[in-house]
């Protein structure tokens, strides 16, 4: 199927970026979104959201055995955003910085804006597979190809129709 083939060739990825409840409470939503905008990533979906317990448990199911799991579930309740772009998963993780904000480099979101692991203000998908699982977008053609198509599948954080397909005016100035 052509769009799938092209998407796999150019390795378009999606990442799910969540401003966590402490980021929302501390008025850091604009600051955090701004860092991804300035980098040149395309915003494709954004919503303010109160996270139900079942969704938080599914999102963090790999951490179920950890001692901090119950407090992590309590911590996560609102404020998701999603971004997409070529290579965005690894790049977003670098912008975000280490899980423990005391080890995160200055210049990263956690390095600049947070102190404790249990209050580290933001989430970013840790792999392209989890980017798909969390955003529900399983492939899209980059704007540069001028053939746009996207696929929705069941997603943790976004329902069908909640992600936008658009071409930023700056696209040709970011990607050769």
What residues act catalytically? 123
**Does 120 carry a binding-site annotation?**
yes
Among 120, 130, 135, 138, binds ligand IDP (CB under 6 A): 120
Q: Contact region for ligand IDP (CB under 6 A) — 11-19, 32-40, 78-86, 112-120?
A: 112-120
Position of minimal CB gap to ligand IDP:
99
Distance in angstroms (rounded) separating the CA atoms of residues 33 and 83: 9
Map residues 113-132 to x or -, x wherever contact with Mg ion holds by CB under 5 A.
-------------x------
Distance CA 92, CA 89 (A): 5
Residue 130 or 140 having the CB closest to ligand IDP: 130
Among 6, 37, 112, 117, binds ligand IDP (CB under 6 A): 117
Whether the Cβ atoms of residue 114 and residue 101 lie closer than 8 Å to each other: yes
Q: Strand 150-152 relative to strand 42-46: parallel, antiparallel, unpaired?
A: unpaired
* Residue nearest Mg ion, Cβ-based: 126
35 annotated ligand-binding residue: no
Decide: is 111 part of the binding site for ligand IDP (CB under 6 A). no
Give the footprint of ligand IDP on residues 79-108 (CB under 6 A): 99
How many residues are given for the chain? 176
Cα separation, 26 vs 44, in Å, equals: 24
List, in order, residues 6 or more apart from 138 with CB less than 8 Å away: 132, 151, 152, 153
How many angstroms separate the CA atoms of 23 and 41, rounded?
20
Structure token pair of residue 62: 């790999």
Specify the residue, 15 or 140, whose C-beta has the smaller distance to Mg ion: 15
20 in a labelled binding site:
yes
Q: Is 120 left (phi over 0), alpha (psi -120 to 50) or beta?
A: alpha
- What does the binding site for Mg ion look like in residue numbers (CB under 5 A)? 126
Q: Which residues are annotated as a binding site for ATP?
A: 20, 68, 93, 99, 110, 120
């Amino acid at each position: 199927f052509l769009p799938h083939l092209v998407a796999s060739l150019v390795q378009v990825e999606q990442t799910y970026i969540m401003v966590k409840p402490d980021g929302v409470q501390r008025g850091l939503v604009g600051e955090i979104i701004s860092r991804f905008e300035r980098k040149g990533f395309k915003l494709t979906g954004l919503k303010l959201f109160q996270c139900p317990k079942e969704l938080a448990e599914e999102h963090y199911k790999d951490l179920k055995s950890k001692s901090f799991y119950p407090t992590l579930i309590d911590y996560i309740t609102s404020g998701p955003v999603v971004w997409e772009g070529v290579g965005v998963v690894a790049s977003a993780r670098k912008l975000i910085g280490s899980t423990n904000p005391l080890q995160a480099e200055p210049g990263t979101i956690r390095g600049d804006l947070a102190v404790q692991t249990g209050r580290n203000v933001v989430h970013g998908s840790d792999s392209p597979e989890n980017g798909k699982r969390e955003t529900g977008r399983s492939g899209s053609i980059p704007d540069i190809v001028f053939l746009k198509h996207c696929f929705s599948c069941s997603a943790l954080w976004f329902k069908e129709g909640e992600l936008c397909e658009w071409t930023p005016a700056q696209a040709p100035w970011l990607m050769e």
